[in-house]
Amino acid sequence: MSKVQQATIQQVDGTLYSSEFDDIYHSSSGAREQAHTVFITGNHLPERFAALNNNQFSIFETGFGVGVNFLVTAQCWHENKQNKQAHLHYVACEKYPVGSTDLTHIIQQYTFSEKTVQQLIEQWPSLTPGYHDIYFKEESITLTLIFDDVKNATNNLTMSIDALFLDGFSPKKNPDMWQEDILNTLAKHCHPNTTLATWCVAGSVREALTKAGFNLTREKGFGQKKHRLVGQFNRIPEDKQAIRQERYFPHISRYLNQSPNKQVGVIGGGIAGSLLTYALTQSQIDVTLFEKGSHIANAASGNPAGILRPVASKDDNVLSRITRRGFFLTKQLISNLEQQIAEPIAQYPGVIHLAKDHEEQITQQEIIKTLNFPSDYVTYLSGEELKSRFQLDHPFGGLFFAQAGYINPQRLCERAIDRSSELLTLYLNTEIQHIKQQKDKWLVFNTHNQQLGEFDALVLCLGANHLTVTEKLGLTINRGQLSLFNHTHSTMNLPVLCKDGYIITLGNNQVLSGATYDHVLDPSPTAINHEKNQQRLLNILGKEPLSFDSVLDRVAYRSVSRDRLPVVGNIAQSDLYCVMGNASRGIVWSALNARIIRSFITGEPQPIEKNLLDTLSPQRLLTGHV
């Protein structure tokens, strides 16, 4: 994945100008007016929004720019949508995103809804590679920004496109945007009702779009442009479309055949099952949640605290990319769930990944130099900086994630379940012994072989437990013990510290240390593991462990896959899914995993790139690829 380079934007005679492409962002006759004429009218959006029967509508744009097209679309959605349950998914790629300061200055020059503009500015993401969401709750809109070049972005899409906005700089200035293979790739995500619109009428572009399967018409242009282009996808005869979609693009088939009354069963009430339940009910899906304990979050999700942080690597590998995406999604989710509650779910004092030696110090410095991430996401702090800022004696320094911190996982789960209550049926003290598929339904049975329900889709969020169907995944179970200590001199503003484990400084002069990692599945805390956690305090804080008074020790189990990545997706049979193998990263992964499963069920755009989605799929374990 390429680095993200911030756009360099100038104003020339009242028109925005790109230094990267030596071209203007919009017509000198007006950005709003151009957007409405070319894209809103060209895709017949007022009429389509008003007549929408489906619960979602998806748009893909090939160049987000400063967001004028999006804001005009959001206004059209607000003015014309009649279906109160409908949700707009607006996905846009951008190789050179605008910085937050420039966005604030530029976008306020236009006359848009002040509330929508303010939400866009407030939620504008850090300029890191990959997918970023901005959620407009009252408007029922999700804006997904893909900071990547258009070829990578389109090659890794998993969505069905209802309307296509082709809006890059001119083919002469930005030929990569208009390549034939990119337009062919986009056509694979279209169906017979998909429309496109663009201001570009270049002969090479018309020829490529025709080959890709679009019927095109030139219509009266805007401003100085004599013509603009509109089109409708019509490559595959409608009677053959279903076969094509089911075989090659099942997400499109699922999207077009949405059921308004879907019943989903979820087994497991830890953080994975709780956040999935919340995600599904937010899409108006009825959920039945089965938890074998007396309350939700009673296993590892019941720990006093857990770290919320991404991982950074020099090659920006799969682990780095999915923890980054999960990190931002989880923070966004927590922000929504914390509204109107007295006690916070999360604290964000920052997280420092301490380098253990000179070799790791060099690696961390190279990560910062190579990836060029924004300093508000991650930066390297030298040993001297750690000493002056936090009174920590670690000469090799460490990576500082300023936006990271820790959460109360049980509070997160409880809040998610509480917000799901209108569409949730909750079974506690209910262990599911086995499941069975019968026609197009999934049946679940308890330990007395009593059938407890039948569902259109079933999701297994089993944590460290298993059913017969999940044994073939080859997951292993590891034991972890953490220890909570009192310390009268603990520093309350100390970041979370990670080095062969972690230390979290909590309120009330308490410090959490953990977690051990072993394969002896003893459910009781052991003295040797307590001593390891106590010694970690000495190693990281440099204080005598005897100055810490023990409060409690807690044991929980982790489910770990062979490649230590989560296992998320379909398990061979239709509409049977799992979210497992979260290891010690369930906090940073569960919101992302929930969105992935919801996308499978509803057909909405997937929240990550296709190559990452495939990497997390259970099929990698079932087929022996890992």
**pLDDT tens digits, residue range 402-458?**
999 999 999 999 999 999 989 999 999 999 999 999 988 999 999 999 999 999 999
- Structure confidence at residue 223 (pLDDT): 67
* pLDDT of 525 above 60: yes
* Residue (of 182, 203, 162, 197) closest to 93 by Cα position: 182
pTM of the model: 0.94
DSSP assignment of 304-369? S-EEE-----TT--HHHHHHHHHHHHHHHHHHHHTTT-SS-SEE---EEEE--SHHHHHHHHHHHH
Q: How far apart are CA 435 and CA 432, in angstroms?
A: 8
DSSP state of 176: G
* pLDDT of 294 above 90: yes
- Structure confidence at residue 178 (pLDDT): 87
Beta bridge partners of 263: 286
More confident residue, 380 or 506: 380
> What is Dmax (Cα atoms) for the chain?
81
Q: How far apart are CA 227 and CA 217, in angstroms?
A: 10
- Structure confidence at residue 112 (pLDDT): 83
The tokens of 381 are what?
A: 């702090």
* Backbone conformation region of residue 9, classed left if phi is above 0, alpha if psi is from -120 to 50, else beta: beta
pLDDT tens for 299-348 read 888 899 999 999 999 999 999 999 999 999 999 999 999 987 778 999 99
pLDDT tens for 115-136 read 999 999 999 999 999 999 999 9
The residue with tokens 């051990």 is 516
Contact 402, 376 (CB under 8 A): yes
Q: How many CA atoms lie within 13 A of 100 on its CB side?
A: 13
Q: How many CA atoms lie within 13 A of 309 on its CB side?
A: 26
Instruction: Compute the average pLDDT of residues 512-522.
Output: 89
SS3 at position 181: helix
Grade residue 205 by pLDDT with cuts at 50, 70 and 90. very high
- Structure confidence at residue 491 (pLDDT): 55
Q: How far apart are CA 458 and CA 437, in angstroms?
A: 10
* pLDDT of 235 above 70: no
* pLDDT of 249 above 70: no
CATH fold of 301-408+476-560? D-Amino Acid Oxidase; Chain A, domain 2 (3.30.9)
Instruction: Compute the average pLDDT of residues 366-394.
Output: 94
Cα of 260 vs its chain's centroid, Å: 24
- When computed from its CA atoms, the radius of gyration of the chain, rounded to whole angstroms, is 26
Whole-number average pLDDT of the chain: 89
Domain ranges within the chain, ordered by starting residue: 9-253, 259-300+410-469+568-622, 301-408+476-560
- Structure confidence at residue 619 (pLDDT): 92
- Structure confidence at residue 219 (pLDDT): 87
CATH fold of 9-253? Rossmann fold (3.40.50)
pLDDT tens for 18-58 read 666 656 655 555 678 889 999 999 999 999 999 998 889 99
* pLDDT of 241 above 90: no
* pLDDT of 591 above 60: yes
**CA separation, residue 377 to residues 273, 280, 387, 436 (Å):** 28, 29, 21, 45
Grade residue 509 by pLDDT with cuts at 50, 70 and 90. confident
CATH fold of 259-300+410-469+568-622? FAD/NAD(P)-binding domain (3.50.50)
Taking each helix axis from N to C end, the angle separating 586-602 and 318-337, rounded to the nearest 10 degrees, works out to 80
* pLDDT of 279 above 90: yes
